[in-house]
Amino acid sequence: MFGYLSSFENDLFGQLERMRREMDALFSGPPGPMGIRSVTSGTYPAINVGAASDRVDVYLFAAGVDPRSLDISLQQHLLSIAGERPAEAPAEAQFYRRERFAGDFRRVISLPEDVDPDRVEARYRDGVLHITVARREEVKPRQIQVE
Protein backbone atom coordinates (compact mmCIF):
# COMPACT_ATOMS: atom_id res chain seq x y z
CA MET A 1 0.00 0.00 0.00
CA PHE A 2 2.99 2.30 0.28
CA GLY A 3 3.82 1.84 -3.37
CA TYR A 4 3.49 5.54 -4.09
CA LEU A 5 6.21 6.30 -1.57
CA SER A 6 8.89 4.48 -3.50
CA SER A 7 10.84 6.86 -5.67
CA PHE A 8 12.60 4.17 -7.62
CA GLU A 9 11.44 1.83 -10.28
CA ASN A 10 10.39 -1.49 -8.83
CA ASP A 11 9.06 -3.08 -11.94
CA LEU A 12 10.14 -6.69 -11.52
CA PHE A 13 9.39 -7.71 -15.09
CA GLY A 14 11.28 -4.74 -16.46
CA GLN A 15 14.28 -5.79 -14.41
CA LEU A 16 14.00 -9.40 -15.54
CA GLU A 17 13.80 -8.20 -19.13
CA ARG A 18 16.93 -6.11 -18.65
CA MET A 19 18.70 -9.06 -17.06
CA ARG A 20 17.71 -11.24 -19.99
CA ARG A 21 19.17 -8.69 -22.43
CA GLU A 22 22.39 -8.49 -20.46
CA MET A 23 22.67 -12.28 -20.31
CA ASP A 24 22.07 -12.47 -24.05
CA ALA A 25 24.82 -9.94 -24.64
CA LEU A 26 27.13 -11.87 -22.32
CA PHE A 27 26.61 -15.27 -23.89
CA SER A 28 26.49 -14.25 -27.51
CA GLY A 29 30.30 -14.18 -27.39
CA PRO A 30 32.67 -11.46 -28.50
CA PRO A 31 30.85 -8.98 -30.71
CA GLY A 32 31.32 -9.61 -34.38
CA PRO A 33 31.67 -6.78 -36.86
CA MET A 34 28.73 -4.45 -36.66
CA GLY A 35 26.91 -2.72 -39.46
CA ILE A 36 28.72 0.49 -40.36
CA ARG A 37 25.47 2.46 -40.10
CA SER A 38 23.98 0.49 -37.21
CA VAL A 39 22.82 2.26 -34.06
CA THR A 40 22.55 1.31 -30.38
CA SER A 41 19.42 -0.62 -29.58
CA GLY A 42 16.70 1.65 -28.27
CA THR A 43 17.67 4.54 -30.56
CA TYR A 44 14.82 6.75 -31.68
CA PRO A 45 13.15 6.11 -34.04
CA ALA A 46 12.95 2.32 -34.21
CA ILE A 47 12.87 0.80 -37.69
CA ASN A 48 11.42 -2.44 -39.00
CA VAL A 49 11.99 -3.60 -42.56
CA GLY A 50 10.02 -6.29 -44.33
CA ALA A 51 10.37 -7.64 -47.84
CA ALA A 52 7.89 -9.30 -50.16
CA SER A 53 8.61 -10.48 -53.70
CA ASP A 54 7.49 -7.22 -55.30
CA ARG A 55 8.12 -4.60 -52.63
CA VAL A 56 10.10 -3.61 -49.57
CA ASP A 57 8.27 -2.02 -46.64
CA VAL A 58 10.03 0.20 -44.13
CA TYR A 59 8.30 1.18 -40.89
CA LEU A 60 9.73 4.04 -38.90
CA PHE A 61 8.22 4.25 -35.42
CA ALA A 62 8.45 8.01 -35.09
CA ALA A 63 5.71 9.08 -32.70
CA GLY A 64 5.11 12.79 -32.31
CA VAL A 65 6.87 13.99 -35.43
CA ASP A 66 5.48 16.50 -37.90
CA PRO A 67 5.52 14.49 -41.14
CA ARG A 68 6.23 17.66 -43.15
CA SER A 69 9.49 18.10 -41.26
CA LEU A 70 10.77 14.68 -42.33
CA ASP A 71 13.48 14.51 -44.94
CA ILE A 72 13.36 11.16 -46.71
CA SER A 73 15.73 10.28 -49.50
CA LEU A 74 16.59 7.14 -51.39
CA GLN A 75 19.89 7.01 -53.20
CA GLN A 76 20.10 3.76 -55.08
CA HIS A 77 19.35 1.31 -52.28
CA LEU A 78 20.34 3.54 -49.37
CA LEU A 79 17.35 5.01 -47.54
CA SER A 80 17.93 7.92 -45.21
CA ILE A 81 15.37 9.57 -43.01
CA ALA A 82 16.10 12.70 -41.04
CA GLY A 83 13.86 14.81 -38.88
CA GLU A 84 13.40 16.55 -35.62
CA ARG A 85 11.21 16.00 -32.61
CA PRO A 86 10.97 19.16 -30.54
CA ALA A 87 10.98 19.02 -26.75
CA GLU A 88 7.66 20.33 -25.49
CA ALA A 89 6.96 21.05 -21.83
CA PRO A 90 5.86 24.10 -19.88
CA ALA A 91 8.74 26.15 -18.52
CA GLU A 92 7.86 25.56 -14.85
CA ALA A 93 7.55 21.78 -15.25
CA GLN A 94 9.59 19.64 -12.90
CA PHE A 95 10.66 16.44 -14.58
CA TYR A 96 10.74 13.06 -12.91
CA ARG A 97 11.38 11.08 -16.05
CA ARG A 98 12.69 12.09 -19.42
CA GLU A 99 12.91 8.93 -21.45
CA ARG A 100 11.43 10.25 -24.66
CA PHE A 101 13.86 11.37 -27.29
CA ALA A 102 13.98 15.06 -28.21
CA GLY A 103 16.10 16.70 -30.89
CA ASP A 104 17.41 15.86 -34.34
CA PHE A 105 17.60 12.33 -35.58
CA ARG A 106 18.85 10.60 -38.68
CA ARG A 107 18.73 6.95 -39.63
CA VAL A 108 20.22 5.38 -42.71
CA ILE A 109 19.45 1.85 -43.76
CA SER A 110 20.54 -0.24 -46.64
CA LEU A 111 17.68 -1.89 -48.53
CA PRO A 112 17.97 -4.84 -50.92
CA GLU A 113 19.85 -3.78 -54.03
CA ASP A 114 16.97 -4.39 -56.44
CA VAL A 115 14.70 -1.62 -55.14
CA ASP A 116 13.44 0.93 -57.64
CA PRO A 117 14.15 4.47 -56.34
CA ASP A 118 11.55 5.89 -58.74
CA ARG A 119 8.65 4.03 -57.18
CA VAL A 120 8.48 5.04 -53.54
CA GLU A 121 5.46 5.93 -51.41
CA ALA A 122 5.43 7.27 -47.88
CA ARG A 123 2.52 7.64 -45.46
CA TYR A 124 2.45 8.83 -41.86
CA ARG A 125 -0.29 7.61 -39.55
CA ASP A 126 -0.55 7.38 -35.76
CA GLY A 127 3.15 8.02 -35.39
CA VAL A 128 4.35 5.41 -37.87
CA LEU A 129 6.01 6.39 -41.13
CA HIS A 130 5.42 3.62 -43.64
CA ILE A 131 7.59 3.72 -46.75
CA THR A 132 6.94 1.30 -49.60
CA VAL A 133 9.56 0.82 -52.27
CA ALA A 134 8.81 -1.33 -55.32
CA ARG A 135 11.33 -3.93 -56.44
CA ARG A 136 12.41 -4.24 -60.04
CA GLU A 137 10.56 -6.70 -62.24
CA GLU A 138 13.47 -8.85 -63.29
CA VAL A 139 14.26 -10.11 -59.82
CA LYS A 140 10.79 -11.40 -59.00
CA PRO A 141 10.78 -15.18 -58.71
CA ARG A 142 9.85 -16.76 -61.98
CA GLN A 143 8.25 -20.14 -62.46
CA ILE A 144 10.41 -22.39 -64.64
CA GLN A 145 8.67 -25.10 -66.59
CA VAL A 146 10.35 -28.44 -67.09
CA GLU A 147 9.93 -29.63 -70.64
Tell the smallest beta-carbon distance from residue 27 to another protein (Å).
Answer: 19
In the chain the first and final C-alpha atoms are separated, in Å, by 77
Enumerate residues 33-52 that contact another protein by CB under 8 A: 41, 43, 45-52
**Per CB under 8 A, does 80 bind another protein?**
no
d(CA 81, CA 71): 6
- Using CB under 8 A as the binding criterion, the count of chain residues that bind another protein stands at 45
Question: Which one of the spans 11-19, 26-34, 68-76, 114-122 is the region binding another protein (CB under 8 A)?
Answer: 11-19
Alpha-carbon distances, residue 63 vs 31, 56, 67, 113 (angstroms)? 31, 22, 10, 29
| Cross-strand partners of 108 | 80
Tell the smallest beta-carbon distance from residue 146 to another protein (Å).
Answer: 24
Q: Are 114 and 88 in contact (CB under 8 A)?
A: no
d(CA 135, CA 110): 14
Which of 70, 72, 108, 109 binds another protein (CB under 8 A)? It is: 109
| Residue ranges binding another protein (CB under 8 A) | 3-4, 6, 11, 14, 17, 41, 43, 45-53, 55-57, 59, 61-65, 89-90, 92-101, 109, 112, 124, 126-128, 130
